[in-house]
Structure 1
Amino acid sequence: MPAWSLALSMVVTGPLLAPGYLLLRDAVSTPRSYLTDAALGLSEAAPRALPQDFAVAVLSSVVDGGVVVKALLLAGLWLAGWGSARLVATVLPDAGLPGQFVAATLAIWNPYVAERLLQGHWSLLVGYGCLPWVAVAVLRIRGGDGSWWPLVGFTAVAGLTPTGLMLAATVALVCCVAPGAGRPRWACAGVALAAAVLGALPWLVASTAGGSLASSQAVGVQAFAARAEPGLGTLVSLAGLGGIWNGDAVPDTRTTAFAVVATVVLLAVVAAGLPVVIRRPAAVPLLVLAVVAVVGPALMATGPGLAAVESIMRAVPGLGVLRDGQKWVALAMPGYALAAGAAVVTLRGRIPAVATAAVCCAALLAVLPDLAWGVGGKMTAVRYPAAWQTVAAAINADPRPVAVLPPDSMRVFPWSGAAPVLDPLPRWVSADVLSTGDLVIGGQTIPGEGKRAREVQRLLLDGADAAALRQAGVGWVVVEGPAPALDLPVVHRDDDLALYRVGGDQPPAAHRGLLIGAHLVWAGAIVVAALGAGVAAVRRRVTP
């Protein structure tokens, strides 16, 4: 089963196996990243990418950063399929290998994965891949034959992003409700919460030390609401694991009436197993969670739901993570995988299990053909122009704050494809890059938290001289793409980039040591959990 899951994952990510970097919408990889203030969550922006940026910065000091990101993405998809197969083996052992094949296929080959890939949410997919493993860990603990280590480890890995951690913690707490003669529910819930706190430590500490809770996120609630697909309402689109807010981050087959056929097929595979799986007490909590994970985002996309979410986010700014409602549909995946795996048991009296599995897997693959090979070739390995290496090297030799033009956070580069991408510069230099975080969606500007960056960009756009920029603490100015020359000392200029030296500086943010310590605790939890799980596995094998 690991081999099947890996094969599917490689079919999806195939173009990324070529040399180059993942650069697509929110996904940004560069040859090297650094432990800047922003990477530690000490910038003006809310700490949304913690501890992801820390992990990539550390790993890219040893391995090329493009390889790191691509490997983590591949691992996330592989874990999703393999873990779903293990979940079926744990809850529905009578489904056998055929049921595990169906579960693994559904977990990897579905619209949620396709849309999040196109949106560039590679680290969210790492958390997604951990969900079935978290469920297996808790169910085995409740059953009396599991250790705590896998729960702690997979929760921490899912915590590569705040959303991934929240997804994993939710699955863990829901599975604590399952019946079992092993550890009591309160003990499982306590360990699950403790593991969640360890995983959340980087961004909890950053939010407290840096005071960087996002108060502007409520402005974009409507723009980020789940979206109905052609021929489907919002609820059914979400039930089919689709409906992402960005209509441009959707496979081509989901932009036509074929989305109806694809959704019917996926739901039919899931529905076929319900008569069996609903009678397995250990599966019921995950089935209930799947229903909530579909209905909840659908309600959030209604008028009252949008108003409620906006009110909550204005009252508690740190809950800006709720804004993208469709991403919570990931919580349905473990329950869907179980139901899909049970389909072979439901039909076993009339159709051989192997035949049922073959038909279900083929159907799931056939109705989403453009997930293959980088979602229809839209996700590829990108090569940076040589100017980027030149500019990054100059800034890294004298790391001072960098101001960037044009002012938008997203870029469209002729060498990276038609889709917009986040500015790669902040993840390539050891200096802090001033960014407003503003997003333009459907003609609406959703302001970010970068007040200082906004002031500096206003100075630049107004033609401020070097003295004014130095006083504002600007050390470098980078212009990305063709633009009129600035009246500043030129270090490099060509058709791709222009670099100007200004010479200003700002002291590093306080609490860097505290944030590094919080990240090390998170990383340590993963290492200790992996060692503990390994020792426990060895003991089980040698104990008579």
Structure 2
Amino acid sequence: MACSEGMSPSLYGMRPSSSFVRIAPAALGLVLGLLALGPALGPGFTLRYDMVFVPGPVWGSHGGGFPRAVPSDQVVALLSAILPGQIVQKVLLVGIFVLAAAGAAALVPADRTADRTADGTADTAGRTAARLAAAAFYAWNAYLAQRLLLGQWALLLGFAGLPWAVRAAARGGVLRLAAALLPAAVGGFQAMLVTAVAVLPVAVWRTADGWRARARALAESVATMAVLGLPWLVPALRSDAVADPAGVAAFAPRADGPFGTLGSLLSLGGIWNAEAGVPGQGSWGTATVRLALTAVALVTFVRQARSRLEEREPYARGLAVGAAAGLVVACTGAFAPGVLQWLMGVWPGFGPFRDGQLYIAPFALVLAVGFAAAVAWLDRAVLGRFAVAAVAVPVLVLPTFALGAFGRLGSAEYPDGWRAVQAIVNRDPAPGALVTLPWGAYRAFGWNGGRVVLDPATKAFARRVVWDDALVVGLPGGGRIRVASEDPLNRRIGAVVAGGGPLTTAFAAEGVRYVLVEGQNQNAFLSRLPGAIPVWRDGELLLMRL
């Protein structure tokens, strides 16, 4: 079908229907999710670093330290009572991409006079291209890729819900904001803190009715977030966990390309763990294109805000402030670590700010909206119907995120021994903790393709699990940083294990009932557990009862 003379061209010569405009971003997010996850959607669980899902997860928090897995683990346990656990995991992972894409598209400005055709009707084709561009950028970038490869799916729930929370904060209304904050609330404290960096400035700057109105909007937003955060806020404030200031250096943003730490952050990368990087993202070509895309998106975001001062979207200024604040937090850990170390010494509650790179999420949203503005301009000025092809740009600048980052994400079935040990321990009504050995937080199981994952025992049992929650991080120039354990009981048990002597008496004094030894080196611990009763043993697991 040909376009009428003077009419702005549209997709395939036809103006898209309103229903297509509404569902297209979510559909694109689904396609991007399937492409990114790839082999992770096969039978079994996806286990990598902090992403630990187990068959038959149990209700309740059964560990010490800060409540990092609250309430995300409880939500997974409830959903797994309805659906198989591996299906729950896959739905959550794909849902992150769908929710992120649809949310970013929802922030693209509505039809305006400049976006209308010669006959006065709305140019839905141009707006569709812009919305799809925002969706693609926000659902396919280095930030999302690196955090997914680090296994932080709960944080990414908050990332996916961030556009909706910003939109709700700009419109006002406690109930609207509470509904939009649900993904972050499920994600837990990191997801909620990252969301707060953007939502609170938006709530303050959405109105020009004076400082009283702004203070009221801020108070309503803080109160809403505090109420939704009670599941993790209460145990966090009651916890006797401590945060090691050494974590500031360990978790500081790092360069993952040729443009240094700042260039990596501006390109939405810079995570502290090199194993969370996407293959090839540090090459000169890829890094240059990513940084250039950032520059284009940032310039168009600023230009759009300035050119539409009277009719600017109410979230724009607040989101810009939130993005700047997030970058400051990230740069503080990298370039002024002493400030964060001092703050953590004053109060351990500043500990979550040590992983500063995660706070650039609002900046990612700014760039997504800016990229959409660039595509809208291209649609009007240059490309017309071909502007929709710009949707592929975010994928093309980070192609190795596809197929589970070329196999870094996969799926695996738990051996039968894991299910048997889980059933034995969870059926036992007697009290007492379970200690997992060898003493170390992460494992690389052969049945999981050798992928590194947090010890699954921390999630599998309906009783307190004592494990090594200390973390050793290697430095780029050599050497290592050890971040001390947060939980006092874990520290005491760790000291006993490191002592090299018999374990039975000391473990019993700490209220331990079970000891689970994982891996092949079981005999080394058998000799240190005199009097303990073997309950289960196979090539992978040894379960002892004291």
TM-score category (smaller protein): 0.7 to 0.9
Of 371, 375, 383, the match for 2:413 = 383
2:422 is aligned with 1:392:
yes
Hey, what does 2:197 align to over in structure 1? 170
Q: Distance in 2 between matches of 1:489 and 1:336?
A: 59
Q: Classify 1:338/1:91 alpha carbon distance in 2 versus 1 (closer, same or farther; 3 Å).
A: farther
For residue 382 of structure 1, give the secondary structure of its aligned residue in structure 2: coil
Partner residue of 1:517?
Answer: none
Equivalent in 226, 230, 243 of residue 216 of structure 1: 243
- Using the size of structure 2 for normalisation, the TM-score is 0.84
Shift in Å, 1:55: 1.6
Q: 1:374 to 1:403 in 2, by over 3 A?
A: same
Deviation at 1:186, TM superposition (A): 3.8
Q: Is the 8 A contact 2:49 2:452 kept in 1?
A: yes
* Pair 378,493 (structure 1): closer, same or farther in 2 beyond 3 Å: same
- Matching of residues 334-353 of structure 1 within 5 Å: 334-353=365-384
Residue aligning to 1:256: 283
Match of 1:231 among 255, 258, 274: 258
Query: 1:419 offset after TM fit, Å?
Result: 3.4
Q: Structure 1 residues 181 and 466, CA, compared in 2 at 3 Å: closer, same or farther?
A: closer
Q: Which of 480, 483, 507 is residue 518 of structure 2 equivalent to?
A: 480
| 1:122 paired to 2:131 | no
Question: Which residue is equivalent to 2:9?
Answer: none
State the distance in 2 between where 1:200 and 1:478 align. Answer: 33
* C-alpha distance in structure 2 between counterparts of 1:176 and 1:219, whole Å: 35
Query: When the two structures are superposed, what TM-score results if normalisation uses the length of structure 1?
Result: 0.84
Asked if the contact 1:36/1:432 (under 8 Å) is kept, the reply is: no
What is the aligned partner in structure 2 of residue 276 from structure 1?
A: 304
Q: Does the 8 A contact of 1:273 with 1:346 survive in 2?
A: no
Residue 34, structure 1, aligned to residue 58, structure 2: yes
Give the superposition deviation at 1:343.
0.7
Residues 235 and 295, structure 1, Cα contact 8 Å, conserved in 2: no
Return 362-371 or 268-277, whichever deviates more: 268-277
Partner SS state of residue 445, structure 1: strand
- Is 2:174–2:224's contact at 8 Å kept on the other side of the alignment? no
**Aligned-pair CA distance for 1:294:** 2.8
Letter in 1 for 2:518: E
3-state SS of 1:221 partner: helix
- Number of the residue aligned with 2:544: 500
Aligned CA RMSD, in angstroms, stands at: 2.3
**CA distance in structure 2 between the partners assigned to 1:91 and 1:231 by the alignment:** 40
Q: C-alpha deviations, 1:3-42, integer Å up to 9, x for none?
A: 112211222123232221121001100012223442xxxx
Cα pair 2:251 2:355 within 8 Å, conserved: yes
CA distance in 2, matches of 1:468, 1:311: 36
User: Which of 10, 24, 34 is equivalent to 2:48?
Assistant: 24
Residue 456 (structure 1) aligned with residue 505 (structure 2)? no
Runs of 5+ unmatched residues, structure 2: 1-24, 116-125, 475-479
Distance change >3 Å, CA 177–CA 481, structure 1 → 2: same
How many residue pairs end up in the alignment?
488
**Counterpart residue type for residue 322 of structure 1:** F
User: Are 2:398 and 1:373 aligned?
Assistant: no
- Matching residue of 1:528: none
Change (3 A) 1:431 1:92: farther
Change (3 A) 1:148 1:223: same
Aligned counterpart, 2:294: 267
User: Residues 302-341 of structure 1: matches in 2 within 5 Å?
Assistant: 302=335, 305-341=336-372
Q: Does 1:80 align with 2:100?
A: yes
Tell me, in whole angstroms, the C-alpha distance in 1 between the residues paired with 2:98 and 2:112: 21
Question: Of residues 427, 434, 455 in structure 1, which corresponds to 2:466?
Answer: 434
Amino acid at match of 1:474: V
The question of whether the paired residues in 1 share the 8 Å contact of 2:246 and 2:483 is answered with: yes
SS in 2 for 1:415: helix
1:194 to 194, 209, 223: 223
Alpha-carbon distance between aligned partners in 2 of 1:130 and 1:465, rounded to the nearest angstrom: 47
Shift of 1:92: 7.3
Matches of 1:69 and 1:234 in 2, distance apart?
33
- The structure number with the bigger radius of gyration is 2
Q: Which amino acid aligns with 1:8?
A: L
Distance 1:15 1:430, change over 3 A: same
Q: Residues 92 and 120 from structure 1, CA distance in 2 versus in 1: closer, same or farther, beyond 3 angstroms?
A: farther
CA contact under 8 A between 2:263 and 2:291: conserved in structure 1?
no
The structural deviation recorded for 1:233 is 1.8
The residue number in structure 2 matching 1:539 is none
Once structures 1 and 2 are overlaid, which stretch shifts more, 280-289 or 122-131? 280-289
Instruction: Kindly indicate whether residue 64 of structure 2 is the aligned counterpart of residue 44 of structure 1.
Output: yes
1 CA distance for matches of 2:298 and 2:387?
Answer: 14
User: Which position in structure 2 is the counterpart of 1:105?
Assistant: 136
Give distance in 2, aligned partners of 1:122 and 1:154: 18
**Deviation of residue 279 (structure 1)?**
2.9
| Mapped pair 1:410 → 2:434 | no
Q: Equivalent pairs: percent with the same residue?
A: 32
The answer for the alignment partner of 1:150 in structure 2 is 176
Matched, 1:69 2:89: yes
Match of 1:424 in 2: 456
How many Å apart are 1:268 and its aligned residue? 4.4
Match of 1:301 among 334, 338, 341: 334
1:247–1:291 Cα change, 3 Å: same
Q: Which amino acid aligns with 1:156?
A: L
CA contact (8 A) 2:253 2:357 kept: yes
| Pairing partner for 1:206 from 215, 229, 235 | 235
Q: How does 1:498-537 map to 2 (within 5 A)?
A: 498-502=542-546
Name the SS for the 1:138 alignment partner.
Answer: helix
Report the alpha carbon displacement of residue 248 of structure 1 after superposing the two structures with TM.
1.3
Is contact 1:106–1:337 with CA below 8 Å preserved after alignment?
A: yes
- CA separation of 1:188 and 1:9: change in aligned 2, threshold 3 A: farther
Distance 2:501 2:112 in 1: 68
| CA positional deviation for 1:54 | 2.0
In structure 2, the residue matched to 1:286 is 319
Moved more, 56-65 or 308-317: 56-65
Is the contact made by 2:204 and 2:217 (CA closer than 8 Å) also made in structure 1?
no
Structure 1 residue 298: deviation in Å? 2.2
